[in-house]
Structure 1
Amino acid sequence: MFLCRRAAAACLIAVAMVLGLAVAGGVHPAAAPAPGRARGHGGVAWHSFKQLLDARRGSHVTGLAELKRYLARFGYMAKPGRGTTDAFDEHLEVAVRRYQTRLGLPVTGRLDSATLDQIMSPRCGVGDDDEERRPVSVALSRGQGGVVSRFTFFKGEPRWTRSDPIVLSYAVSPTATVDYLPPAAVRAVFQRAFARWALAIPMGFVETDDYEAADIKVGFYAGNHGDGVPFDGPLGILGHAFSPKNGRLHLDASEHWAVDFDADQTAAAIDLESVATHEIGHVLGLGHSASPRAVMYPSIKPREKKVHLTVDDVEGVQALYGSNPQFSLSSLSEQGTTSSSPPGSSSWLAGSSARLLCTVLVILVTHL
């Protein structure tokens, strides 16, 4: 035990030295997304859809035209024209059924409470199955215990490719920030989020102060921020990220972000770490999951914390990059899929700190 502790301490010191000397990798340009509206409801508040409860084919309710734009925005139906009406027609019914199927809801073809609750929930801006902008292909496999996995990839399954092992640099913008969150707290959130993915795959992430040279660029932005996909204000689209090897990860500065729900009792607070972990999955090449428990599920509610990867998340990212030799799927059963405790104190690191730190050291030294 004493030798293990000495090994862990030695690795900690060595890792600290290497991180201090690490040089950021170059920028990987990628084509910008096609222009499109990120305003989920054309400027109408997301909660205004509540009047659509129990609408079904044949109904005519104010707001259905905006719902059609919402479903088109995320890839469930063709973009409606200027003459779009508030009629619940056959095309809308097909789109609603597709939405319900894709997100693991009861398939009723009508706007029941479960479906409407899901539609009104804050969500990621990446489309669920939008073949024009961010198409994904469903990859079904068998997970542990016979559970069907529902992870997806971006079209063409893009991924980061470099000499093995892969080490990516990341930086949080020093200017695109929110003034009520301490920079150190935001950086700590992303350190934990990146480390969580690194535990599952043979990939390392190194934080750098050189934002322009970083492979992955994180920033908070409001409204139209120059990438063709403007944000829409509080409790709508929370953030979006682009597929490899673009590296941009954007969060809506209009949201009320929280890093500690015990300290922040705001009812509309969104957990930063949960969304950060989700968007990093997109940066790595994952699309949305149809499993409601997965980190890569497209929506999250205010004051909900979902930071731990599920079997579905892990199977998806490992399909792209392979498995970290130090990782075992059995470790997922030792933690809940949601948690209010800091990941740094969870069982992710329990009993394997020395091996994990030494693995990170080897990856970084090899990269340099």
Structure 2
Amino acid sequence: MPDGRVEAFSQIASVALAEPGTRDPELKYVQGFLQRFGYLGGNSFTPGAVDEKTTEALMKYQERNAVPSTGSFDELTRDAMTSARCALPDLDSGVEFSARCAWPKRALTYAFDVDSTDTTGTPEFEAVRNSLRTWAAAVQLTFTEVTSEADPDILIGWRPANDPDHSMVGGTLAHADFPPDCGVVTTNLPKPVHFDDTEHVWSIGAAANAFDVETVALHELGHILGLQHSNVNGAVMFPTVSSNSTLRVLQPDDVAGVQQLYP
């Protein structure tokens, strides 16, 4: 694709389909994906083989990503794995949970720094503000915009794919972090909401081969509030996002999760 844009997880797209017991060196890309997103741990598996641990990891991935649970690297699984998605893991060392932890306060501050190269002006900032308003309407939280020099709780911006605090290389759209007591990216403030401005095109609204800022921001801000990925296909907190589409309304699963954290 032009201008450095890439297809999501293109190495996985070329891996041959494989049933349990299959050996193929190219399966290392599938296993790397499963490791990256929390399904396959450490050195407990045989590289390049759909062994018992890899089969279990594939089944767990399939169960959480609206794919029939076969334990095989089949066509539907390959399609799911080559969809653009959030850079944060789905599981924490194989453990499932939907709500991680909450902020100890109900009034948060945020700031913007680097804007996207894909837009004229900064309409992407207003798209993020809209996402903040959506979450604030669901729970008793307030978000106040400040300057980046004012020690905000959340710092929002567009970064290279190889963002040093959390890599987005290879088909992930963005990353955030969880509240201070349970972060996985940093233990310090401000908490990041970073969009990959190298490998993807950003739009305001649905546009061919581009991703709607407000849709992705709504998802990433759910992490900032303490929500993990959902296994409910169609929820804002489901890990994958389609180009040329919008999802700007919280779904029942999203509302239930955030109201559990902030009753």
If the length of structure 2 is used for normalisation, what is the TM-score?
Answer: 0.86
1:1-368 matches, cutoff 5 A? 46-52=9-15, 54-80=17-43, 85-131=47-93, 137-138=96-97, 152-154=98-100, 157=101, 159-162=102-105, 166-173=106-113, 176-227=114-165, 229-233=166-170, 236-245=171-180, 246=189, 247-254=191-198, 255-261=200-206, 264-265=207-208, 267=209, 269-322=210-263
SS in 2 for 1:70: helix
In the aligned structure 2, how far is the partner of 1:287 from the partner of 1:240? 12
In structure 2, give the amino acid aligned to 1:306.
Answer: L
In the aligned structure 2, how far is the partner of 1:274 from the partner of 1:136? 27
- Asked if 1 retains the 8 angstrom alpha-carbon contact of 2:116 and 2:124, the reply is no
Q: Do the aligned partners of residues 300 and 98 (structure 1) sit closer, same or farther apart at CA in structure 2, a change above 3 Å counting?
A: same
- Asked if 1 retains the 8 angstrom alpha-carbon contact of 2:202 and 2:211, the reply is yes
In the aligned structure 2, how far is the partner of 1:92 from the partner of 1:44? 24
In the aligned structure 1, how far is the partner of 2:84 from the partner of 2:8? 11
Give the superposition deviation at 1:170. 1.1
What residue in structure 1 maps to residue 185 of structure 2?
A: none
Give the superposition deviation at 1:177. 2.4
In the aligned structure 2, how far is the partner of 1:296 from the partner of 1:102? 12
- Asked if 2 retains the 8 angstrom alpha-carbon contact of 1:58 and 1:89, the reply is yes
Aligned length: 248
Q: Do the aligned partners of residues 74 and 57 (structure 1) sit closer, same or farther apart at CA in structure 2, a change above 3 Å counting?
A: same
In the aligned structure 2, how far is the partner of 1:51 from the partner of 1:184? 37
Give the superposition deviation at 1:63. 2.0
SS in 2 for 1:99: helix
5+ long unaligned stretches in structure 1: 1-42, 139-151, 323-368
- Asked if 1 retains the 8 angstrom alpha-carbon contact of 2:148 and 2:155, the reply is no
Q: Do the aligned partners of residues 123 and 303 (structure 1) sit closer, same or farther apart at CA in structure 2, a change above 3 Å counting?
A: same
In structure 1, give the amino acid aligned to 2:9.
Answer: W
- Asked if 1 retains the 8 angstrom alpha-carbon contact of 2:110 and 2:144, the reply is yes
Give the superposition deviation at 1:297. 0.4
- Asked if 1 retains the 8 angstrom alpha-carbon contact of 2:11 and 2:29, the reply is no
Q: Do the aligned partners of residues 47 and 304 (structure 1) sit closer, same or farther apart at CA in structure 2, a change above 3 Å counting?
A: farther
In the aligned structure 1, how far is the partner of 2:243 from the partner of 2:74? 21
Q: Do the aligned partners of residues 79 and 44 (structure 1) sit closer, same or farther apart at CA in structure 2, a change above 3 Å counting?
A: farther
1:203-254 per-residue CA deviation (whole Å, 9 max, x = no partner) reads 1112223455221100111143331x22205xx1111111113421111111
CA RMSD across the alignment:
2.3
In structure 2, give the amino acid aligned to 1:199.
Answer: A
Give the superposition deviation at 1:53. 5.3
In the aligned structure 2, how far is the partner of 1:44 from the partner of 1:196? 30
Give the structure with higher Rg (CA).
1
- Asked if 2 retains the 8 angstrom alpha-carbon contact of 1:239 and 1:275, the reply is yes
If the length of structure 1 is used for normalisation, what is the TM-score?
Answer: 0.62
Give the superposition deviation at 1:66. 1.3
5+ long unaligned stretches in structure 2: 1-5, 181-188
